Structure 1
Amino acid sequence: MPDNNPRIPFQLSSERPKLKAFRGKPIMVHIVVNLEVWPFGQPMPRTILQNPHGKSPVPDIGNYSWVEYGLRTGVPRLARIFSQRQLPVTNMMSASFPDYYPRCAELVQHAEWELAGHSLFQRSLLYDENEEAVIDETLERLEKFSGKRPRGWLGPGFGESMNTPDILRSKGIEFIYDWMVDDTPCWMRTKNGHLLSLPYALDLNDVVIFALEHHSAEEYYKRFQDTVDYFASEPQSPPRVITMALHPHIIAVPYRLGTFERTIDMLLKRDDTVFVVGSQIADWYIEQNSAEHG
């Protein structure tokens, strides 16, 4: 029978291998903060202001300022929120970020956020002539900055070529976040061995909720509450991952942060949740379901 997905064999979630919950908690909450470099002299990857003259200006001062405001004011706010609650965080960082925003990079390094690869700039690998060279440079620069080679990867805009997973696996990447096909990790096929796909977020992503669907902050709280309530109501409540995908210029503004903190606290108060980083999810899954059996 042909498989339409060349990377992940199709499987009903109800027929997947049974898993033991992480530390006895069936809902793993994964906080992810994206720290990205949007080049000043290029069109912005996303905008909050429409151009009134029908062309994308370069430089785009308004939309560039939107993003930089998030880095200047939003990152310290997020760091404080997570530190006060002693929460683990995964950081998807453009490898050029420490060069352009060294104080911001030092702040999150001091907070011990787990680092994952996120290319050099906020630009899809589809637009790079030599993606292997970009991946090499990304991993080398992040390792030089942090002292550790990243185990995980998220493509800017989830962008991949037909060869990206093969290249990433050949460079030692163990898990990626681009394929959002299930609530638990899935093994992927590559030419260089198996690669683990970790659950990420689309409809729970702050970009989708606020920048694309234009909801109020209350919708953010409601989606997370409804999701975990439904997970808990399902028969036998199998372990699941719920990801909070965050961008400082989106979530970390004053009129959303209060509701965001309420969302965090709601999840913290539950007796069926545990906060984790990407490597913990990967190690938990691999221990129970290795690629050879998966």
Structure 2
Amino acid sequence: MDKPMTLSDRIPYQALIDRPKLRLPGGKKLAVWVILNVEDWRIENSMPRTVLSPPMGQPMLPDVPNWSWHEYGMRAGFWRQMKALTDRSIPTTLAINGNVCNSYPRVAEAARDAGFEFMGHGFVQGPMHKVENQNDAIKRTVDTIGAFTGKAPRSWESPGLTENNDTLDLLRANGIEYVADWVIDDLPQDIQTPHGIITTVPYTVETNDIVIHALQHLPSDVFVQRCKDQFDRLYMEGADNARVMALSIHPYITGVPHRIRYLEEVLDYIISHDGVALMTASEIGDWYRNEMRAT
């Protein structure tokens, strides 16, 4: 009996130095995409992430303080981040739980009207491998976003980047072409599924405000330095072959008053460089596929 293929085996190793030479539009060096994550945390459930330990170490439901921490982002932080992005005319990918269209229609409407690309991000916030019916959750997300925006999403970021052996196949079967779960390279890569190719779009667990502030608990200004350092190196390498940089942000993290100016500083630094192509997830995916056909 053949040994079942592991999930990692579906993505053959490719050395970055061996990748074909790819050209960004207009001769740019570096594609940058900004991912704004908006999520539905259900107060009746355990919180996906916490900032405050429970009194006497005894978790309680409802978890009012930690639910409220996230809720602040949806009520206040989102609007600061949206202003920072739209004031600078930055194309934005909205990684959205499908149910946000129902539970936070004001947020979803504003993003839709601003022309953000809606990227599926699960139906409610929680790991994909814990979902009782993964296909149903993906389908509901795709259908809900499609009904709300008039256009089904082509891209996907799993909550917490979680997958199991079935996720990629189910995503592609539901029309998803591009996935951000695989932080394996600075260029996209194709993955075979029974329903056609699905393509990775370089994402980040490093220039990501959750990791920097909620997990590593680093000072607010570290976000600026890390993002600049990441940008500078990729921009330099992009003179030889195209590179992709992701910047992932969350309303309850860099949308708060004491951090928003650092996000604005990073955005201003990025757009001050002529060699940057500002793109969305599907634009990067389409560009990559067109370039690979041309090589």
Q: Give the ranges of 4+ consecutive aligned residues of structure 1 lying more than 6 Å apart after TM superposition.
A: none
Instruction: Return the alpha-carbon distance in structure 2 between the equivalents of residues 60 and 205 of structure 1.
Output: 25
Deviations 1:243-268 (A, max 9, x none): 11111001111111111111110111
Aligned pairs (5 A) from 1:116-265: 116-234=119-237, 236-265=239-268
1:10 aligns with 2:38: no
Distance 2:106 2:272 in 1: 33
Count matched residues: 291
Instruction: Output the amino acid matched with 1:139.
Output: V
Q: Any conservation in 1 of the 2:38–2:96 contact (CA below 8 Å)?
A: yes
Is the CA contact (8 Å cut-off) linking 1:21 and 1:238 kept in structure 2?
no
Could you tell me the TM-score, scaled by structure 1's length? 0.95
CA gap of 1:264–1:95, structure 2 versus 1, over 3 A, is: same
Q: 3-state DSSP class of the match of 1:132?
A: helix
1:216-275 CA distance string (max 9 Å, x none): 122111112112222233484321111111110011111111111111101111122121
Aligned alpha-carbon RMSD (Å) = 1.7
The superposition leaves residues 75-94 of structure 1 with CA deviations (integer Å, 9 ceiling, x where unpaired) of 11111111111111000111
Match among 47, 54, 77 for residue 51 of structure 1: 54
- Percent of aligned positions with the same letter in both sequences? 35
Greater mean deviation of Cα atoms: 139-148 or 103-112: 103-112
Counterpart Cα distance in 2 of 1:236 and 1:152? 28
1:10-89 to structure 2, matched below 5 A, reads 10-89=13-92
Helix, strand or coil at the partner of 2:193: coil
Deviation, 1:3, is 8.6
Secondary structure at the aligned position of 2:50 is classed as coil
The 5-angstrom pairing of residues 250-289 of structure 1 reads: 250-289=253-292
Question: Partner amino acid for 2:276?
Answer: T
Partner of 2:97: 94
Gapped regions of structure 1 (runs ≥ 5): none
Range 68-77 or range 226-235, more displaced:
226-235
In 1: Cα distance, 2:172 partner to 2:234 partner? 32
Match of 2:107 in 1: 104
